[in-house]
Amino acid sequence: MNLAKRSHEDLIQKSSLSNNSTFLKLALAAFNSLPLGKGWGWAALLIINCTLSIVNSQAQTYMNIHLSDGSVTQIDISTIDSITYSVTNPGVLATITTTGVTGISGPSALSGGNITADGGSTITSRGICWSTSPNPTTADDTTLNGTGIGSFTDYLTGLSANTTFYVRAYAINSAGTAYGNQQTFTTGNIFTAGAGVTDIDGNVYPSVIIGTQEWMQQNLRVTHYANGDSINYLPFFPVWSTTSDTNHHWCWYADSSELDIPYGKYYNWYTATDYRNLCPAGWHLPAESDWATLVEYLDPNFPAGTSHVDVGLALTETGNTHWNYNGFLNLYATNSSGFTALPTGSDGGSNLGICAYWWSSNLAFGENLFYLTTGYDVTLTHGITEAYLFGVSVPSRGASIRCLKD
């Protein structure tokens, strides 16, 4: 049974049913300072579970009370008028202050707290909570930063641009949840428009400045290297799905030139990393560390080598114009980074509308900065979009390219 925190006693009300059996209506409650489900060892009477049953009109109905020592007490409910409980020294709330907010950068900021007194019982949980409304609580966005007294810091992530947020540190002990003083801060723009760039074929690309980096805002569409050498067009069907050669190729998705805009072209990894440079002069194919810089700017807590929803949503184009595979509704993307990722699919012939792949310059097998070290591309998947560093692909297969300014 779920217990709701409401009062100092549990009331049992009895009413007669048509078959003269007894029906229990429990006002299941515990007073607000009782942290239900956690740290009940200090209660004078510990009710872990109550099992109620009505056998039939001729039978007795019992309440089973499971005590902290493992024993079970069974009581005939017909003898119960009310149930009360008492608490032995629950202590008082902890003393905590909220650290001022610093490091406001894009969609993240840094704050924390300092617990100077535990109120007489162990701090079982502590962290930061924040909201766009005053006096945030643990029902809002939170971090979890261990136990015990002392100071702690953490990043607030997934923040919207140009928005005021309210922050409080919290500490939980047997007496309840204590909150520190409220801090406020306002985020700025996560990105700004760049100057753009033109490739050797005359294709013009808008660019976006995200943190310290300037990225193309569209996928590459060029058919020549920066020195003027042409790149071979190799139709995807049926060759790309089976080839393992190291020649330089490009193709359109499903061999359809109509998809060049907005999706761009697909290149194999040998083309992407050729010394003649596929990107315009002054720009380059991003390395693994470049992708990491982008991801960690959007979420400083991003765990190396794993997926993260906040990053994926910040990179993904909003709406269902392109992210529309099989009736999927792209409801959560924000594109707050301005990166405007489109679901270009994979290998030039599958998964359009579902996911996106971009080459990096690293052929990373073995030791690497990130956990998924067996590949060399960055992936966004549909649904609640998540970012991955790094996925697995084959150098002869096709993927998109986003160039990064030197």
Q: What is the pLDDT of residues 125-158, one digit of tens each?
A: 999 999 999 999 999 999 999 999 999 999 998 8
Torsions phi, psi for 206 (to 5 deg)? -70, 160
- Is 70 exceeded by the pLDDT of residue 44? no
Two structure tokens written together for 337: 């980074």
User: What is the signed CA dihedral for 356, 359, 362, 366, rounded to 10 degrees?
Assistant: 30
Residues 106 and 210: beta-carbon distance below 8 Å: yes
Could you read off the pLDDT of 178-195 as tens digits, one per residue? 999 999 999 988 888 999
pLDDT mean over 233-262: 77
Are the C-beta atoms of 307 and 317 separated by less than 8 Å?
no
Q: What is the pLDDT of residue 277?
A: 93
The pair of three-digit structure tokens given for residue 376, joined into one six-digit string: 């060399």
- Look at residue 171 and tell me whether its pLDDT is greater than 90: yes
111 in Cβ contact with 181 (< 8 Å): no
Model pLDDT, residue 200:
96
pLDDT at 370: 22
Q: What is the pLDDT of residue 287?
A: 86
Residues 6+ apart with CB under 8 A from 289: 369
Higher pLDDT, 183 or 19: 183
Q: Which residue has the higher pLDDT, 326 or 143?
A: 143
pLDDT of 166 above 60 = yes
Q: If residue 291 lies in a helix (H) or strand (E), which one and from where to where?
A: helix 288-298
- At residue 25, does pLDDT exceed 50? no
Q: Region 268-279: what's the mean pLDDT?
A: 90
Q: What is the pLDDT of residues 47-72, one digit of tens each?
A: 333 333 333 334 567 777 777 677 88
Determine which of 66-70, 71-75, 212-216 has the lowest per-residue pLDDT on average: 66-70
> What pLDDT score does 39 carry?
29
What the block records as the tokens of 261 is 């805009």
Least confident of 9-13, 80-84, 244-248, 368-372: 368-372
Tokens, residue 111: 């704050």
347-371: pLDDT as tens digits: 656 667 777 888 888 765 422 222 2
Q: Does an H or E element contain 204, and which?
A: strand 204-205
Q: Percent of the chain having pLDDT more than 70?
A: 69
- Per-residue pLDDT at 346: 67
Show the 3-state SS of 133-202.
CCCCCCCCEECCCCCCCEEEEEEECCCCCCCEEEEEEEEEECCEEEECCCEEEECCCCEEECCCEECCCC
* Tokens coding 398: 């096709």
Domains of the chain: residue spans and CATH? 4-84 (no CATH), 95-186 (2.60.40.10), 197-405 (no CATH)
Instruction: Among 239-243, 293-297, 301-305, name the most confident range.
Output: 293-297
| Cβ atoms of 213 and 404 closer than 8 Å | yes
3-class DSSP state of 295: helix
Mean pLDDT of the chain: 74
Q: What pLDDT score does 63 carry?
A: 78
Above 80 in pLDDT, residue 225?
yes
Residues 6+ apart with CB under 8 A from 333: 313, 316, 317, 318, 319, 323, 385
Edge-to-edge strands, sheet with 283-284: 191-193, 207-210, 213-216, 404-405, 283-284
Residue 5 has a pLDDT of 31
**In the structure, what pLDDT confidence band is assigned to residue 74 with cuts at 50, 70 and 90?**
confident
* Model pTM above 0.95: no
What is the rounded distance in angstroms from the CA atom of residue 257 to the CA atom of residue 97?
60
